Structure 1
Amino acid sequence: MLRVLIADDHEIVRKGVREVIEAHPGWEVCGEASDGQEALDMALREKPNVIVLDVSLPTLNGVALTRRLKRELPTANVLLFTMHDDDETVSGGLAAGARGYILKTDSGRQLEAAISALGANRPYFSAFVSELLLDAALNERKRSRLESFTVRELEVAQLISEGKSNKQIARLLGISIKTVESHRAGAMRKAGVRSAAEFVRFAIKHNLIQP
């Protein structure tokens, strides 16, 4: 039985993905999550074979979540299923460890093919993403800024952008305020910004949060 976990903050998207999975013999949905932290907790508990993620997830975005899953649940293959088709998001997601990347504009048949491929430990990319990868292979790939962030910096960056204070972030992540300040400084330096407002613009541009 191929066990699949779905993580998307839109119920209608989760429902559509579930219908594709349940129509396929031998596949089952082992869980649904509406934010990144819930998805991580559920994945560690349920140990799915394939995890279908959106990039723009609340609490813990898809890129940071993919990195955590790669480290903490290496047996699971991550499929990024998103509307974001820019070079930086694609390269950031793949560098984080995603084994598949397809767009929400792709057909249900492609989603099924992607899940099937990842279930067999093969990568799968939509035609658009494959073209980006080919172009990157032929030309020197520009490194996504997100690749230089640590997982903790990505987590702190997202929470800053969502308007959380250092104290709130420390409580949510179970770390000290001083540690939050250190990660905050590192994230802002790597983003090339000096103010919280600039950081929010950076976060929106790189799909850490939704505008």
Structure 2
Amino acid sequence: MIRVLIADDHAILRDGLKLILSECADMVVAGEAEDGDAVLAMIRDRDWDVLVLDMAMPGKSGIELLKRVKSERPRMPVLVLSMQDDSQYAVRSLKAGASGYVCKAGASAELVKAIRKVAAGGMFISPSIAENLAFGLSTNVEAPRHSLLTAREYEVFMLIASGHGTTAIANRLHLSVKTISTHKARIMEKMEFASTADLIKYALKHGLLENEDVVHK
């Protein structure tokens, strides 16, 4: 039996989710939480097979709450339930430790399958988001390499891909050359590139810039 904890601040939505899951013989909603503090209290008090977590609740919520939950219960699968039909937000949730991401708009059709998948150790992403990121709905979900970058790293990445040198980027962003060099090293490591040429080829291949955007020296 899959014991589910539902965390959402809207009682009507919790009731709807319970109704959906009540038809499944292999799972039971064994607890409910309406804010972040209640979530933390309940995961400390009992073991759960799956936490279905709304990302917009009063108090502690979102990525901050998700990270806190995973720090206290690293082996507990968390299925994010969000209004955000945003592929990059989904990626941030996965990076923070979520095992799955379901949009509320499609919850009635996807929830049961998603809970079973993450409870079994797999990962699940709503198909609409999976298509945007070329995700495969399998245990080996992979996001585009550039989604691993921070906002600043992505900015530096795009300038490097456009053919700008370290000094030029430093002047443009009002940062030191050393800082830009550090960003570049992290970008190369995260994206597993051996050379700047590899970085430029990646940007072109993924449509991040056109050939005419590259500065030819």
TM-score, structure 2 normalization: 0.61
Q: Which has the higher contact order (CA 8 A, sep 6+)?
A: 1
Distance 1:34 1:109 in 2: 23
CA distance in structure 2 between the aligned counterparts of 1:144 and 1:102, rounded to whole angstroms? 23
Aligned to 1:188: none
- Structure 2: segments with no counterpart, 5+ residues: 136-141, 152-217
Superposed displacement of residue 26, structure 1? 2.5
Task: Name the counterpart of 1:60.
Answer: 60
Q: Which amino acid aligns with 1:37?
A: D
RMSD, matched Cα: 2.0
Q: Aligned pair in 2 of structure 1 residues 24, 144: CA closer, same or farther (>3 Å)?
A: farther
Q: How far apart are the structure 2 equivalents of 1:10 and 1:110?
A: 19
Structure 2 contact 3–27 (Cα < 8 Å) conserved: yes
The one-letter amino acid of 1:21's match is L
User: Please, which of 142, 146, 152 is the counterpart of residue 140 of structure 1?
Assistant: 146
2: CA distance, partners of 1:63 / 1:137: 18
Does structure 1 conserve the Cα–Cα contact (< 8 Å) formed by 2:86 and 2:129? Answer: no
TM-score under structure 1 length normalisation? 0.63
Runs of 5+ unmatched residues, structure 1: 146-211
Residue 144 (structure 1) shift: 5.4
Give the deviation of 1:138 after TM superposition.
Answer: 4.6
Q: Say whether the 8 Å CA contact 2:4–2:30 is kept in structure 1.
A: yes
Q: Give aligned pairs, total.
A: 145
Q: Distance in 1 between matches of 2:132 and 2:146?
A: 12
**For residues 81 and 144 of structure 1, what CA distance do their matches in structure 2 show?**
24
Tell me which amino acid in the other structure corresponds to 2:42. M
Match of 1:90 in 2: 90
Q: How does 1:1-211 map to 2 (within 5 A)?
A: 1-134=1-134, 137-138=143-144, 140-141=146-147, 143=149
Shift of 1:62: 2.8
**Distance in structure 2 (CA, Å) of the matches to 1:141 and 1:58:** 28
Is contact 1:101-1:126 (8 Å) kept? yes
Give the conservation status (yes or no) of the 8 Å contact 1:88–1:144: no
CA contact (8 A) 2:79 2:98 kept: yes
Specify the code of the residue in structure 2 equivalent to 1:102: V
Q: Is the 8 A contact 1:49 1:75 kept in 2?
A: no
CA distance in 1, matches of 2:63, 2:147: 18
Greater alpha carbon shift after TM alignment, 18-27 vs 4-13: 18-27
Identical amino acids, percent of aligned pairs: 35
109-118 or 21-30, which moves further after superposition? 21-30
What does the per-residue CA deviation read over 1:24-69, in whole Å, with 9 as the maximum and x for residues that have no partner? 1121112111101111111221211100011111111131221112
